[in-house]
């Protein structure tokens, strides 16, 4: 796998190889619909592989929405999409007292690896004694603000994240923050007004602008 400037399709077998067939030892975390694994390339570099595990129409739409948006985003404070995989394979499954072949479509995203994990690891009570110093905190806050400014004002079409919270802020080796998890995000055209009748993010972290765009 070569690091190219634009995301490209990756074979499913390659993603299995670099994650040791998605083994539990490589698991970095999990969310509502997906699990993230650490992938190790032949040259020793690491990537993050996000795998859709709960395949419903809603989860597929959110997963594909995230991939489509990340394809268009390029900013130092937005997690970088390296590649993607939508591939169907035949699997052997039980059906009416026998085993049959069935088609199983895999949805995966390959993202840049963030060795320092997510922001919530450093601001929760469990980490209060080993949290971030004030200089690093300022850098993290500033980076998040730059990332949001890019999404709202500088992207080709403005984007509302709709699920911004500490677990969705990842930190690289230098504690540069990267906004991630765009499954709920929406494009905002200038002639639109948004009123969220059904809101799907965590309301505790939902900014007023995400509920009603003014």
Q: Which residues are annotated as a binding site for ATP?
A: 51
Q: How many CB atoms are located within 10 Å of the residue 121 CB?
A: 15
pLDDT band at 128 (very low <50, low <70, confident <90, very high): low
- Residue-level pLDDT at 136: 94
The binding site consists of 51
The pTM score is 0.79
The reply to whether 1-113 and 114-214 are identical in fold is: no
43-90 pLDDT, tens digit per residue, is 999 999 999 886 678 888 888 888 888 898 999 999 999 999 988 777
E-strand ranges in 41-162 read: 46-52, 81-95, 98-112, 159-160
Q: Domain map of the chain by residue range? A: 1-113, 114-214
Q: Indicate if 163 belongs to the active site.
A: yes
pLDDT of residue 185: 75
Residue at token pair 């077998």: 13
Is 180 in contact with 211 (CB distance < 8 Å)?
A: no
> For domain 1-113, which CATH number applies: 1.20.1440.120, 2.160.10.10, 1.10.150.240, 3.30.200.20?
3.30.200.20
CA gap 161, 167 in Å, rounded: 14
* 114-214 CATH fold: Transferase(Phosphotransferase); domain 1 (1.10.510)
pLDDT-based confidence at residue 39 (cuts at 50, 70, 90) = very high
* Predicted confidence (pLDDT) per residue in 144-165, tens digit: 999 999 999 998 888 998 889 9
Distance CA 81, CA 70 (A): 6
Catalytic residue among 20, 120, 125, 163: 163
pLDDT at 211: 45
């Amino acid at each position: 796998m070569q690091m190219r400037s634009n995301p490209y399709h990756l074979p499913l077998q390659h993603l299995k190889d670099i994650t040791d067939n998605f083994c539990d030892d490589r698991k970095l975390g999990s969310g509502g619909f997906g699990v993230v694994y650490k992938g190790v390339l032949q040259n020793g570099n690491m990537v993050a592989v996000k795998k859709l595990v709960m395949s419903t129409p809603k989860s597929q739409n959110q997963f594909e929405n995230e991939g489509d948006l990340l394809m268009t985003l390029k900013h130092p404070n937005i997690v970088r999409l390296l590649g993607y995989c939508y591939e169907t394979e035949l699997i052997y499954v039980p059906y009416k007292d026998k085993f049959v072949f069935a088609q199983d479509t895999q949805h995966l995203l390959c993202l840049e690896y963030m060795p320092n994990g997510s922001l919530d690891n450093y601001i929760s009570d469990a980490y209060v004694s080993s949290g971030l110093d004030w200089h690093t905190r300022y850098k993290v806050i500033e980076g998040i603000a730059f990332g949001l400014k890019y999404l709202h004002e500088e992207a080709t079409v403005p984007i509302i994240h709709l699920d911004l919270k500490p677990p969705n802020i990842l930190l690289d080796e230098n504690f540069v923050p990267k906004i991630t998890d765009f499954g709920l995000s929406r494009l905002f055209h200038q002639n639109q007004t948004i009123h969220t009748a059904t809101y799907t993010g965590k309301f505790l972290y939902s900014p007023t602008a995400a509920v009603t765009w003014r």
